[in-house]
Structure 1
Amino acid sequence: MIKQSSIRSLLQRVSWLMLALAIVPLVISVLIYTRYLFAYEKSVQNISEANRISSSVEESIIEEAWGLTYGQITPDDYRNSNNVTKIRKEISQIKKNTRNAKERATLNIVLRSLDNVANYLEKIIENIEKDAPFNNNQTLMTHVQSATKLVHEILQDFVNVEIESATDNSVEVRKSILILSVIEIAIVGIIIWFTRNTNKRMNTQIQQPMEEMIKMAEALSDGKLNYRIKCLPDNELQTLTNSMNEMADNLVVLLEENALKQYNLAQSEVRVLQAQITPHFIYNSLDAILVLAEMGDVEKVKEMTYALSDFFRISLSQGQDWIPIEKEIRHITDYLIILQIRYGDALTYSIEVEPKIEKFFMLKMILQPLIENAVYHGTKLVRRTGKIVLQAYLDEGYVHFFIIDNGKGILPEKLEEINTELRDGLSTDFGEGYGLFNVNKRLLLYYGSNAKIELSSIPEKGTTVHVIIPTTTEGNFKNV
């Protein structure tokens, strides 16, 4: 079940939402400008790297080129490691950290110039390997110097552009952050003021009246039917409060009328159950007595006649609804004796009852319909000898009855359906299993939620009906 929020918590959530609406834009803005600041740091880093490369590019490349020309560096050593390749990698890294299209284009020019330098140096290597005249390499060195100088100049232009761009971005970011911070602080202040005033008004006009109505509802649920709300709110809740007071005024009358209706309904249902049992049970029993008499089995006739007489004597109980448990046990014992005489060896039974529970009272005719179900819907449907076991014991103020049979059993889907219907209680619209659901309904009408019936079953093995009722003595059974 989903837990409902109180109005106060709802207002608090609205307040937090309003604060979030004010703070989230600020956080997003800070994140955006943080990105710009990182971009600024990258620009500064690019400037530093480009400046360092620019200051040393001519000296390092020219020195390495003359060393290659004069034979101080061999072609293999050059190919393995040279300043042109290193500088090219550094320029490429600067390019990765650059997002401006103009600056990337400038770096592309630098890279192409470095490619030219590399091509000239590769031609110098070819001349060295072919033993070409030294003058050829001197001419190429002139081109190397020009290309290297161009790299230096372009890098200086890149540095100047980066410095100018970083400066402009830095100024704009600082101004924007300052303006945005002032605006957000003002918005947060306004929302806090508005939220506090709204909470005060809502607490007075809604929360306090609602708390009074909750207290009244709790008092009514605890049986304090005279509780009324005296301080009525001067708003739309006044109508609801008046309605609750009127509802409380009518509740006592309605409860009394309902209790009387339920009592009459229970009386009617138990009479219907008695009427349902009586005809076919009497006819079958009398037929069995007649057969026994014709067979000359006087002892069986006497036993069955006494059991039938006692069975109906307890069923009537002089119009009383509550009888000692000892009588209820005797009632079903009479019933089982009659059935066993009728069915012979096809039915056996055993009754295991703690003696200390016999002094308590219980609603009559609870166990007999359940045992009838166990016989007619359980043991009669199997070929083996049917067995009915009744167990009863006391546990922590409750009497537990177990009616166990070795009959047909119930399929899991049907068992779940039956248990669900039993849990639905008074709202059950039963068709099949009239006796079971009638007993469950009578238990709930008289005992309330203190009593219940549960079924467990294994198909082709048998079924167990578990009945739980609170202990009741002769002096208080009418108040259960």
Structure 2
Amino acid sequence: MKKKILTLAAVVTLPFILLVMYLLASMASYSNTYDEIVSNMTVANNYNLNFKEEMDESLYKLVVGYVTLDTIETDKSLKNPYTLIDELRSEFTRLTAITTESESKLWLESLLRNIDTLEKRVDDIVDSISAGGRYNENIEKLDNNIYILTELIQDDIQYYIYYQTRYMDKVTDTLQDQIRRFMVVCSVLIGVLIIVVAVSAVMIVSGIIQPISQLNQATEKIAQGDFNARAQADSEDEVAELAVSFNKMAGSMQSLIDKVKEDERKMRKADLRLLQEQIQPHFLYNTLDTIVWLIESNEPDEAVTMVVTLSDFFREILSKGKEFISIKEEEKHISSYLQIQEMRYRDILEYDIQLDQVIYKYQILKLTLQPVVENALYHGIKYKRAKGCIHIHGEKEGDIIRLTVRDDGVGMDEDELEQLRQQIEKPCQETEKGFGLANVNERIHMYFGPEYGMKIQSQKGKGTTVEIVIPALLEAPVEKTGNDTAKVVEVGNSVNSDANKKIKNNPKQQNANKIIEGGRPQQEETGV
């Protein structure tokens, strides 16, 4: 019985083993042929993409005298034409020796003939260059010989790739025919070999489920936002191709997300630009009213001085549309602003500007100091109801520049100070107060990074100090545009105050009383 069982097992198993061996041999043959075709197509495709461009560019620069044959290798973007020809001839001679498909072989032979012709034409051009004084003739040779031959070579490579692709399809069809024959024979033995088939099925399914499971895990990670997740692609089957495609998709998604983030950053800059362009008109209106009052009060000299100062103020604001200006220009702008305000608030305002001349040449975001100074005036000095002073100080410390605006106004208590600190760390559109300070802080963060920005200290009844830290840069930062050319970032031209408020008279202000007596009431300015 045991012998019969063993014999039966041998009889049943032997045909299956033979069929399996036949199938494995067919698949091995297909795999080897497939790998060879893919390898050949990879080599051909590399030359299809690069050879013509490299050859044309190298010869053109030889003809125009940009390089010589002796110095061409020193330019990393160029290659010696003879080196390119030798490499191409070597690779496609090897491909000719191993290619069995007839149509592909014909195109390889055509390609080698064209290579020989190309080498002769290169010789002609090199000899002509050596003779000298034949620029137009050489250019004509490039157009009528070289470019045409390199295009013919490229066409030969493309035809070779095309027929190799067809040959790959033919090999695949042959394998499928073999598989169909195998299935016919296998169907006869299916009853006897069901157990073996079941076991084989379990093994095959396991081999499929495992990479699919890994692919599923990678998919879940992607769904959770981990775009660095990648599927394993160790095999060479369709699942591996799916894994490769999945990995490419994940990489593309990451690139798209990075692009979206970059677009959002650019949109945010545009938003800041628009916010800066919402100029608070009250300062201009009130200054013009003051000028009219001075004229009506027979003080033309002071009126002229204020007009000139106002002109300087707006000239510095515009700055030819630049976002970055020198610290010296920023100082002129602040000085013009404070001169105007000192004329209007002569009874309550004094100021002192002490910027180290060493920092004059360094770059600063336009309108960095003006919102801080305006805030010190309207929320510090003005509410003090007495003489106050604004001190502006700046110096260089290592690789940074530290700017300080200090006032001896009403100051803030701890709760107000903490609330303001939180507000300036928000995007300026989301702030409830301190809009101008938040705008300055956000622009500094955007252009220089979160390690730079603004710090505020204050004591109730003693005053407020705002410290601004920026990097010491001699040139304005640059930003890459869509075509990778650098340009200086140019954004808004002015800064806005918190929000437009209702216009009203304030007879308690000493300077405003003078304007009222002159018949021209001022509009209230809110600061930033």
- TM-score calculated relative to the size of structure 1: 0.48
Structure with max Cα Rg: 1
- TM-score calculated relative to the size of structure 2: 0.44
Higher relative contact order (CA 8 A, sep 6+): 2
